[in-house]
Amino acid sequence: MIAAVDEFILYDDMQFTKNDWRNRNKIKTPQGLQWLTIPVGQGINRRIRDVTLDPRWQSKHWKTLEANYRRAPHFDEIKEWLKPLYLSAEYSYLSQMNRTFIEAICNYLGIRTKISNSWDYALIDGKTEKLVDLCIQAGAGGYISGPAARDYIDEDLFNNKKIVLTWFDYKGYPEYPQLWGNFFHQVSILDLLFNCGAMAPSFMKNITGRT
């Protein structure tokens, strides 16, 4: 999705929700799929940008990745830039950490999309109204949304402002060589990078290749 747009806005002024993809993802192991979850405490009434982190998760996650992917064809190449993000960097906030990883992965894949935060803009009230106004401030003629947002987005508000609303399609991705048995799509992009390296863009939508 990031590769499909001119600007990708991290919408982290919104309410943090537990059991979502912001602080966890799946990897592939000899025993099957496994969650990697970053501990964020029990507090619910927080904006995403206010969620703080305990640094003790970083080395544990890296050891788990290393144990399950060190046999992958491109592990050593990816490790050169990924390992320091786990073991050398410090993150106080979840949003800060996510943006660092997103930018590093985009850089490797050759994705040059502008990445910004929602709080770079003035925010108004209303779920859809806020999104429409962000598009207007950013000078956007279109907005691409994940399909889960169909439950709350008012399409008419986009139509009234002549902003084209598109629903991103996550179907139709080709399979790629994976470790550990049968193929699974629902895993972190790190699985693709460790297994395919510079060939990763050929298995992704909207990316023609690294530059």
pLDDT at 2: 93
pLDDT for residue 209 is more than 60: no
Q: What is the DSSP string of 25-89?
A: EEEEETTEEEEEE----S--S-BGGG-B--TTHHHHHHHHHHHHHTTSTTHHHHHHHHHHHHHT-
Q: Which residues contact 20 (CB under 8 A, 6 or more apart)?
A: none
Q: What is the mean pLDDT of the chain?
A: 92
Distance CA 141, CA 135 (A): 7
Where does the pLDDT of residue 210 fall: very low under 50, low under 70, confident under 90, or very high at 90 and above? very low
Q: Give tens-digit pLDDT for 87-122.
A: 999 999 999 999 999 999 999 999 999 999 998 999
Higher pLDDT, 170 or 140: 140
Where does the pLDDT of residue 207 fall: very low under 50, low under 70, confident under 90, or very high at 90 and above? low
Distance CA 14, CA 122 (A): 14
Sign of CA dihedral 118, 122, 126, 131: negative
Percent of the chain at pLDDT above 70? 97
- Give the residue among 51, 39, 25 at the shortest CA–CA distance from 185: 25
Q: To which residue do tokens 């996550």 refer?
A: 170
Tell me the CB-side half-sphere exposure of residue 91, using CA atoms within 13 A: 28
Distance CA 86, CA 7 (A): 26
Q: Give tens-digit pLDDT for 33-68.
A: 999 999 998 777 899 999 999 888 999 999 999 999
pLDDT at 7: 96
